[in-house]
Amino acid sequence: MNKILIANRGEIAVRIIRACREQGLQSIAVYSECDRTALHVRLADEAYPIGPNPAVESYLNINRIVDVARQAGADAVHPGYGFLAENDAFADACREGGLIFVGPSPEAIALMGSKTAARAVAIRAGVPVVPGTTEPVLESATPEELAARAGEIGYPLLVKAVAGGGGKGMRAVDSSSELLTAVQTARSEAHSSFGDSAVYFERRLVKPRHVEVQLLADGYGTILPFVERECSIQRRHQKLVEETPSLAVSRTLREEMTSAAARIAALAGYTNAGTIEFLLDESTGRAFFLEMNTRLQVEHPITEMVTGVDLVAAQLAIARGERLTLDPHRLLEPAGHAIECRVYAEDPDANFLPSPGRITHLRPPAGPGVRDDSGVTEGSEIPVFYDSLVSKVASWGSNRPLAVARMARALAEYQIRGIKTTIPFFLRLLKDADFLAGRFDTTFVERLLGRHAGDRPDPLSVEARTIALMAVALQALHSEAPVPTASADGWKERARFEGLREWPTA
């Protein structure tokens, strides 16, 4: 394996290109029209155009990417995260085209990509799952049948898409009067986002924590789980801040979760990098299986910082057929504490509306214990066509207070002009007493935003900004193509103009 095509863009493409260079491998970038001068294109050994700006015509075009890989003489394809990373048809097309897919098999992707099938695997592995339906709810189910199924699970519950993720096709239901509308809305959104309208029911835990276990698995039966990551700081089911280790996980619970994750991966016949996600129930302290992400996670840098393992290099080694030789005990004993903040081109004072545009000035943070994974430079354009992630700032410290202090220092140093970013939100978060004490769950961000509602700008200015952004969106729609519902992020298909669907409030 000597030549790798990276089927992605932005910071993750840059990350993989650098890993290839360190291992003496040639890297091939692909790009849409608006990414012609992007950083990943400039850094790669070779770069090839793959189509117009809409993702469905470029980064989601399986045939085009495979054709380019073969024409360029690539041995392998690394999908990164998002786009086609969890698409079993893409993995299969690579295999049929004689290319090594740097990830799990198409069969494992298909199995664990279905939430109901993945729940069945977890049950077989003896891992608790959140109470819910074991099969998709039938399209032909009558309102009475839906109510009966929901009644068996109990309220509050979630109607969830079987495919995809990232909060798409998910609706919370507090009572039977809301059920039918929630099912119809979730089905519609699931179909438009993933091409699959299947949904199922799941009990909604009250104030859970979202904790996940990173895995590496080789082709010889070795499965290595890592120390957990805490991912509860999220908005609309989209992660914003991650840290490792979790303050909510004891040594005993860590052993239970990592053992459960390894059993699930073994039953799935899993290889390469993946992550098992859990929900921690506040009332019982139990961990319930949520889903598996069959790819490299966005938040992988913090695991690298506390374990010293290069996860992308490990992915490439596994794809080459090498055995894992890491000490399994060291992976469960973190060296210090690490935190990651995802810097988006969004305006936190305007209901997190997208803020596309050109970066006119950029000075990223640096210094002891700080890492900035970025796919942009000064002069880069943040396009409207893809996810708005600008960079991922990660900090490390010998303990959590030091990691938090370094993150606050790094974000205060971060200079970026020309676009709005989520940095002001993170600076408020890092000063919050509950965050500093580790008193948070998946509903924390909504409460935090409520406490700072008075800090938002005048509603008229917000309205004016919304109208301006909608004009940009409509112009793009008119001049390019229908808005693609898939995007370049790692939390599966996130809609391009998600923020525009909600009118901001003062």
The residues that bridge with 26 in the sheet, in sequence order, are 3
Rg, C-alpha atoms of the chain? 22
Residues paired with residue 272 on neighbouring β-strands, in sequence order: 217
Residues 6+ apart with CB under 8 A from 405: 397
| Whether residue 295 lies in the annotated active site | yes
H-type alpha helices, 225-358: 251-267, 300-307, 311-319
Distance of CA 215 to the CA centre of its chain: 16
Is residue 361 helix, strand or coil?
Answer: strand
| Of 322, 348, 349, nearest in space to 461 by CA | 349
| Residues 32, 34, 39: CA angle, nearest 5 degrees | 85
Answer whether 355's CB lies under 8 Å from 345's CB.
yes
Rounded CA gap, 333 and 500, in Å? 43
Tell me 484's DSSP state: P
Instruction: Retrieve residue 335's tokens.
Output: 């060296």
CA distance readout (Å), 283 to 97, 172, 245, 289: 50, 20, 21, 16
Determine the Cα–Cα distance for residues 144 and 137; give it in Å rounded to an integer. Answer: 13
Q: Torsion angle of alpha carbons 195, 200, 205, 206, nearest 10°?
A: 70
Q: Which of 209, 229, 232 is nearest to 283 (CA)?
A: 209
Annotated catalytic residue, options 9, 209, 254, 295 = 295
Give SS3 for 383: coil
* 436, HSE (Cβ side, Cα atoms, 13 Å): 10
Residues with a catalytic annotation lie at 295
